[in-house]
Amino acid sequence: MAAGSRLICINNAPMEIELTQEPLRVGRAVQPFAVWQQLIPDENTRNTISRIHFEVVRSASALVLRNLSSQGTLVNGSAVDKEVVLKDGDIISIGQVESEYGMKPTLQFKVHLSEEDATAKVQTSVCLWWLLPGTNGAEPTVLNKQLLAGPTGAVRVGRALQPPEFWQTLVPDEACRIAISREHFDVCPAEDGVMLINRSIAGTLLNGVMVQQQSRVSNGDVIAIPLHGQPKASPIVQFRLECIPVSTAYAVPKADAAPRLLGSVGNQALDNAAFASPPKVKEDSDVVKVAVSALPPPFSLECVAARGSEGADLEQLPKTSRVLAASFSQAEISVGSSFQSADFWEPLLKDPALRAKILPLHFRISMAHLSDGPMLLLDAHAATELNGNIIEGKAPVLQNDLISIGGTPDGSVDHAPLVCFRVNSALS
């Protein structure tokens, strides 16, 4: 990232945070305790800031702010639902404190972008991931299958726009399938964002709300096709929107390329290889043998916050005391008092009363092998949150997701989590 981009505290406190190539996280568990004492001397006011409140990452040519707090993050006075592209001069507000004029932010930063970052043009491509509906109240599962953008950078969805095999895979019931319009909706990058354009008399659902014309959409939104005249019923099919910066987006297919099915990569070399002669069997001397035990872990969980401990305390712990790692021979991690000994929990939760709240099993993360490749799945058993949302049942997890636990006798989640883990994975 160009030198000079930074966040400047505007609360009469001499604090600036440089925005480098590395992701920046802001919160009470991230910056040193002494810094927070200087910025916000009053403890009650300081505690309105979450332990990990927000992060700023570079995504292609843009700086993106992601809210990580259940208390919310404001940019120019508007709440950030999931993430937002930052512009020069934006005001970031976190926490809140009562004043004679009502509630006001506890802390505010002004975004200062270097000339290179401020003038960079943000371009976006889009893709839609198929969501498999959850059962028994569980969240939908994101399957490793997607609809990619066409030559214009947009995704057009409808019975006449994808091959019949596409819709037969997603919607086996023919009666439901023919309820999808021939041209149902488009998702198009625009000059000032990404737009959902409804083209069906049945309408299109955006996060459960009916859209009859068009609406702005954001990364992570859920777009669904409803049954005609039954907007409250379970949708016929639903997708999760992913907005991809052009430098990391999938290559845009050529106009004369064959239609892609779900999960297809459209790689001609791979397509040709499928019909090629079977490869010659390698001699033993040609085969490279790898010791599975010597491979790095396929995924791990790093403790980034624990009740009663500051961020600096956790950083001083040896890695083995704050990181749980899977292995290729056992690609899963179970978290709870029945799986980690007291030697693991004691350095994180110094108070025995807090350690007593750890339940036998809070959650398990495992590697699911789908037809298009592996995916990490969280199986929540009790008192588990994923990125601030209570999870019951299974949900997909991605790199840098935050999993928090907090136990009570009935297995519910405490107001303040006991421990928070960050997911580290090479799969996402």
CB 387 within 8 A of CB 402: yes
Residue whose entry in the numeric block shows the structure tokens 């036998």: 360
Query: 0.95 exceeded by the pTM?
Result: no
Confidence (pLDDT) at 345: 92
CB 308 within 8 A of CB 351: yes
Residues of the chain with CATH 2.60.200.20: 6-119, 124-257, 292-425
Tell me: domain 124-257, CATH 2.60.200.20, correct? yes
Mention the CATH class of domain 6-119: mainly beta
Architecture of domain 292-425: Sandwich (2.60)
- Tens place of pLDDT per residue across the chain (428 aa): 445 888 988 887 777 888 887 888 898 888 888 888 888 889 999 999 998 999 998 765 678 888 888 889 999 888 887 778 888 889 999 998 887 777 888 999 999 988 777 766 556 778 888 876 544 444 555 554 566 766 556 788 888 888 787 788 778 888 888 888 888 998 888 766 788 889 888 899 998 899 888 888 888 888 999 887 777 888 888 888 887 665 433 333 343 433 333 333 333 333 333 333 344 444 444 444 434 444 567 789 999 888 888 777 788 888 888 899 887 667 789 999 889 988 899 999 989 999 999 988 999 998 776 544 567 888 888 888 888 888 888 888 888 888 999 755 454 545 678 999 999 876 54
Distance CA 246, CA 252 (A): 10
Amino acid letter for position 77: G
Structure tokens at 244: 């991809």
Q: Which is it for strands 323-325 and 332-335: parallel, antiparallel or unpaired? A: unpaired
Residue whose entry in the numeric block shows the structure tokens 């809210």: 67
Confidence (pLDDT) at 319: 84
384 strand-pairing partners: 405
Distance CA 100, CA 21 (A): 41
